[in-house]
Every structure is written in structure tokens, then in C-alpha cells.
Chain A
Amino acid sequence: MIRFSGVSKRYPNGHDALQSVDCDIAEGEMVVVTGRSGAGKSTLLRLSAGIERATSGSVVVRGQNLSTLRESALAALRRNIGFVFQDHRLLFDRSVAENVALPLRISGATAAEEGRRVRAALDKVGLLARERAMPITLSGGEQQLACIARAIVNRPGLLIADEPTGNLDAESAGAILGIFSAFHQVGVTVILSAHDAMAFGAVGGRRIALDAGRIVPPAP
């Protein structure tokens, strides 16, 4: 489903975030990308989602080489991927439900469909009771849940979450990992990242370890 071949990413400031990375992620697989802060986890995830373009090498997602895709085709690809951002990126001037509805707005769903899907997504993450709340009134964990609801509302076949348990207590983190496991169970390809390999000890899935922009053998 996703194939990285000799992928390097250099940011405009000259920093090499990834250096000749090769990896394969199969359809329906669950993968946890680990590495310390600055290792390049977010960069890898953003490249997979077509949010960022590789400097060299090729990223192929669902048979499409992202380096050669036009901007509109890249946007279409992003519409079919659920992405949970490391920094949430909720819009603070609208309610939780409106935030979750944003992907449906972009894809042009009907109002009825929108209402139904937003409630289903919020229900799945256990946030239905806060549907009308403004994001500023949510706790950090609840904001993370709202962000996950937004990522799954379009029922994507590929779900990518960048440190979804970032700074949550063990119990909340466990609940969130449970949600991703459930999606994996029903055939969704799931890619997560964590700086602490131990954090996801409970969940299965393959580990991809990064260190200073290169893939290294995972710690035993």
C-alpha cells in the first residue's frame, strides 16, 4: 500500500530529516514508527499522507507516485486518508461537531449524511456528549479524541496518527490505542508514531525504528 524507495527529505533550512529510507507497509497492516524526538517520525508520516513531498527517492501510495502527482490529485489522495496531527489542529472558533464535520464539507456530503457520520465518529471515540462544546473547553485528551473523530469521519482505508498518545496518562492512552486496534481489526491500515517504544507495548503491529532520519533495527 505504501512503498518508500530511497526517500530523503531535506527541509528548506537545509536540515536532512530523512536519509535514503526504504520501507514497505502492506494493506491492512498496523505499523508503529518509533524514535526519539527529532528522529523524523512526523516527516515519514507526512510524506506517506502526501502532506509533504520527498526531496529525492519515491513515495508510492496505492500505486500512485506522489512525487509526480499534480496538486489536485494529491489533494484527492489526502481526502482518503485519516490523519491525526501531533498538534491536534482543531479550529477554536467552532464546535467539536463542526470540527469533525470539516472533511465531509470538503468532500461535499449531504447535510443528513454529515449529521449521521459526525455523530457516529464522535460516538466511536466516546465524545458524543461534548458534540456542541467548543474545543477550548476540552481537556488535552478530549482534544486528541476530537482530532481522531475528525480523522475517521470519512471512513478512510488508511489511518495515520502522529503521536496520538503524546502526553496522556496511561489509562487515556490505552483507550486511544484501543480505538486504533479496533480499526486495524476491521481491515484499516494503521500507522502510528511514538517516541517511546514502550508506550505501545500493549498493541501489536510491526515496529519501524528511526534514528536521525535513518531506519535502524528496532530495539529488542
Chain B
Amino acid sequence: MKSWLRQHRRSAGDAVARMGAQPAATLAAAAVMALAVLLPLLGSAIVQAARQLSGGIDRDATITLYLAVSATEEIARQVGAQLKSNPAAASVEFLPKAKALEDLKSRDAWRDLLDGLEANPLPDAFAVRLRSRDAGALASLRQEWGKLPGVERVSADSEWVETVSRVARFAERLVWGAALVLGLAVLAVVAQLTRMQVVMRRSEIELSQLIGASPTDVRRPFLWHGFLQGALAGLFAWLAAAAILLVMADEVRALTLSYAAEIAMDFRMLPGFIAVCAGTGALGLGGAALAVTREVRRFGGPG
């Protein structure tokens, strides 16, 4: 079946030659489609980052109690004793305010800001790891501990983590929806390009049919053209997304500085390069197939 391969190679070569003969049109179409693909690509990277964040943080239920800044050591000691005596607490860690300040100062972004201060603005805190991950128990402990003397604020990190992962799950659906809609845009653009090509090459197609080109033979170069045009758009979109993530990486790192888990946002969060190009290529192929089949049928052909 070597002639089969040869025909594909020739059709592919034909498609590349046609794209090369009209570089402006080819690039413009690829750029338009790349824009459509870029959005879901970036969206998926962000979802991926959120996933990493919520997965990276300790998933055990913990409650952090912040004392009032004015709270004395005596009060801190009393609160600590109460927490430790509570059977729901698996472990209790005291986070003295001096230590918290040291930690912050070790980070460049905060140092200048904090160096100017005379008094330590941070409160003492306790991190309590709970035995149970039950949401109801968490909520009632939170309420109970919020009423302890000297405790100003109680936060449950794991609640926040839950929220992030719930938002991530929702965002993921959004991204899929957007990908579906914008994928249709790629299909439509390629279909329109193909339609114009078919009309332009009408006499060649009709003659080919008369002298024995099968419907498959007629479609082949257009399918290659659609595939390559789509894949080119995928290539552009992926490179653009990778570049945007590269630029955004520093911003994102600064944003997440205060959390235990740091998000490294880069191109590794994108769906694979080959997968993206193959996906948009397949969309292009689909658009071309629809258009060429419909157009060629419109001008009748032999028989």
C-alpha cells in the first residue's frame, strides 16, 4: 500500500505549499484560532495551580487561634492549657509572636515594611491539629474556642482549603465548557477557510472526479490543510500560554508567599504540547471534512 502513503505525503505537501503561498492568510487564521484556544488553556493552568495549592496544604483539619495583640503571657499559658486538655485536640503548637515576626522578616518582600515598626504588630497564636475531620465538630470547636478569654480570632485553614478545591472543581467545569464552545469556533474558522479553497479549486476538483478521483481522493488535501491549520493554531496558543505563564509566574509567587505551599506556575501546568496541537488539529480536520463534503456535494460531481 505504498501508493497510499505517497498520496498522503503528496496531499500534505500540497497543503503545506498552499499555506506557504498565502502566509498572511495562514498566519492570520492561525492567530484568530489561537486566541480562541488560549483562554481555556490558561484557565486549565489556573485550575491546575489551585489544585496543587489545595492538595499541597496539609489536609488534616487544623484550627488556628490568634490571641489579642495585648494578651499577656499568662493568658497565653492559660489558653494553651485549656486547648491541651480538650480531647478533640491531637496536638497543640504555640506560635509566639516574636517567632512569627522573625519568619516574616526572613522574606524579602516583608522585611522593609517590618523593619520600620517599633512594636511587634503580630499576635501570639496556637495551631491545633484536630483528631476528627468532621465539619460539624470543627465548627462547634471553632465557636467554643472563639469565646476563650484573650482569643481574638479563630480560623480553620482546612475550611479555606475546602473552599479552594470546591472553586477549583467548579472552575474546571467552566474551563471545559469554554473549551467546548471555543473549540467549535476553531471548527467554524477552518470550515470557512476550506469552503473558500474548495470554491477556488472547483474546476480542478470537478476534472479530478471526471478522471477517477474518488470522494476520498478529493477530500484528502483539504483534510490535511484543515489539520495543519488547526495544529498551527494549537502551536501558537500553547506558546502564547507558556509565555504568559512565564511572565505571570513572579506575580503568582508573590501572591502565594504567605502560605505554606508555594505555587510554581509555569508551562508544566498546561496540557501537553503535543496533545494541544493534536486536539486543535483534529478540530481543524473536522471543520475541513464538514466543509469539503458539503461543498463538493453542492456542485454535483459525476454520476
A75 CB within 8 Å of chain B:
yes
A85 at the B interface (CB under 8 A)? yes
A 59-75 to B, binary, CB cutoff 8 A, 1 in contact else 0:
00000000000011011
Which of these binds chain A: B67-75, B103-111, B190-198, B210-218? B210-218
Contact of A71 among B10, B211, B303 (CB under 8 A): B303
- B207 pairs with A91, CB closer than 8 A: yes
With A51-B302, A51-B303, A74-B303 already in contact, the answer to whether A108 and B7 are too (CB < 8 A) is yes
Distance between Cα atoms of A80 and B212 in the complex (Å): 8
A109–B3 CB distance below 8 A: yes
Inter-chain contact B212/A103, CB cutoff 8 Å = yes
Instruction: Tell whether B259 is near chain A: CB-to-CB under 8 Å.
Output: no
Q: State the majority secondary structure of interface residues on B.
A: helix
Using A108-B4, A108-B6, A110-B6 as known contacts, say yes or no to A91 and B203 having CB atoms under 8 A apart: yes
- Contacts A/B (CB < 8 Å), 14 sampled: A50-B302, A52-B302, A52-B303, A71-B214, A71-B215, A75-B209, A77-B212, A78-B211, A81-B212, A89-B210, A91-B203, A106-B213, A108-B7, A150-B211
Which of B210, B211, B302 gathers the greatest number of chain A CB atoms within 10 Å? Answer: B211
Closest B residue by C-beta to A12: B300
Q: Nearest A residue to B212 by beta-carbon distance?
A: A79
Interface residues on A, range: 20 to 34
Q: Which residues of A are in contact with B by a Cβ distance under 8 Å?
A: 50-53, 71-72, 74-81, 83, 85, 89, 91, 102-103, 105-110, 150
Q: Which residues of B come within 8 Å of A, CB atoms?
A: 3-4, 6-7, 10, 203-204, 207-217, 302-303
- A76 neighbours in B (Cβ, 8 Å): 212, 214
Contact B217 A75 (CB under 8 A): yes
Chain B residue at minimum C-beta to C-beta distance from A99: B207
User: CA separation between A79 and B302, bound complex, in Å?
Assistant: 13
Q: Point out the residues of chain A lying under 8 angstroms from B10, CB to CB.
A: 105, 108
CA of A105 to CA of B208 in the docked complex: distance in angstroms? Answer: 10
